[in-house]
Structure 1
Amino acid sequence: MEIFQATMNELEELTVLFDEYRQFYGIESDVSSAKAFLQLRIALKESVIFIAVENGKAIGIAQLYPTFSSIALQRAYILNDIYVTEDARGLGVGRALMEKVFQYCEQQYARYVTLQTATDNVNARKLYEKLEMTQDQYSNYVKYFG
């Protein structure tokens, strides 16, 4: 398996996985909107996307959004999206993507990487804990618009 930072060259493969990821969360398939969204993120350098490929087939993605820690005066990252195709689950792809994310964040001298997951996403939570991620002391509040 190879994991690398995706570019416009991988846009088609990214789009398929990103659309599947959104469907996993109950969103109706919309390939053209998914593609346009990713295309903008890459073009404007608003996210960092890693893609896992095995035997020429894309099997997973992880998308980071940069932010900052005002307290630490350092860059930080939000791991907003991580997805592994159904047929590749349980093979260590998620772990490998997470390790690539951690490596990248360290190389960027980030203070931290954070993520959110559903409380009932038991497999993901186990993985994050195995990778020594911890729950912080903060509660998240959200206000949705539109």
Structure 2
Amino acid sequence: MKKITTRLATLADIDQLAVMFDAYRQFYALAPDPALSRQFILDRMLGNESVLILAEDEAGAPAGFCQLYPTFCSLAAAPIYALYDLFVRPEARQFGAGRALMLAAEAHALRNGAVRLDLTTARTNLPAQSLYSGLGWKRDDIFYAYSKTLAA
């Protein structure tokens, strides 16, 4: 079994993050766009707009990543994080990378004073849902999520 470790990503990780981010977007049926993926991740990092956590195997090869966006909860009057992106490379699945990333995200949020983590996932992504439930996450059956696409 591969040993998985996690750490905060740095600018030195941009190329491997961009490749995984592009694969993540393709998982959600978007066309490949390596340049867009790289620029998006680079912009988030340069602007300190997100937290990127990288999972690596014992040889230092990238296994996956997650991206957290800091925000606030008005009702709790406290900071929270939105765990927006979670991706594990297909060849690294079943080695605990997803679990390690989730636990690292939780630890980061706690260290930074957040009172909650939120995420959404596709209804068809049953493996992810199983992971989340197994780590104590509760599915929201009270609120509906809405979105509206705006013209670019």
The interval holding the TM-score normalised by the smaller chain is: over 0.9
Runs of 4+ in 1 over 3 A off after TM superposition: none
Match of 1:2 among 5, 17, 22: 5
Structure 1 spans left out of the alignment, 5+ residues: none
Contact in 1 for aligned 2:5/2:100 (Cα 8 Å): no
Give 1:43 deviation, angstroms: 0.4
Match of 1:140 among 136, 145, 149: 145
- Map 1:88-127; keep pairs closer than 5 Å: 88-127=92-131
In the alignment, the residues of structure 2 paired with residue 83 and residue 105 of structure 1 have an alpha-carbon distance, to the nearest angstrom, of 19
Partner of 2:45: 42
Would you say 1:26 and 2:52 are equivalent positions?
A: no
In the alignment, the residues of structure 2 paired with residue 83 and residue 143 of structure 1 have an alpha-carbon distance, to the nearest angstrom, of 25
In the alignment, the residues of structure 2 paired with residue 27 and residue 21 of structure 1 have an alpha-carbon distance, to the nearest angstrom, of 9
Q: TM-score, structure 1 length as denominator?
A: 0.96
In the alignment, the residues of structure 1 paired with residue 86 and residue 132 of structure 2 have an alpha-carbon distance, to the nearest angstrom, of 12
In the alignment, the residues of structure 1 paired with residue 127 and residue 32 of structure 2 have an alpha-carbon distance, to the nearest angstrom, of 24
Structure 2 spans left out of the alignment, 5+ residues: none
Give 1:28 deviation, angstroms: 1.1
Give 1:2 deviation, angstroms: 2.1
Contact in 1 for aligned 2:65/2:101 (Cα 8 Å): yes
In the alignment, the residues of structure 2 paired with residue 8 and residue 117 of structure 1 have an alpha-carbon distance, to the nearest angstrom, of 27
Q: TM-score, structure 2 length as denominator?
A: 0.93
Q: What code does the residue aligned with 1:138 have? A: F
In the alignment, the residues of structure 2 paired with residue 33 and residue 127 of structure 1 have an alpha-carbon distance, to the nearest angstrom, of 29
Partner of 1:129: 133
In the alignment, the residues of structure 1 paired with residue 85 and residue 119 of structure 2 have an alpha-carbon distance, to the nearest angstrom, of 9
**1:59 alignment partner, SS class:** strand
Q: What code does the residue aligned with 1:4 have? A: R
**2:26 alignment partner, SS class:** helix
Q: Once the two structures are aligned, what percentage of the paired residues are identical?
A: 36
Would you say 1:11 and 2:14 are equivalent positions?
A: yes
**1:124 alignment partner, SS class:** helix
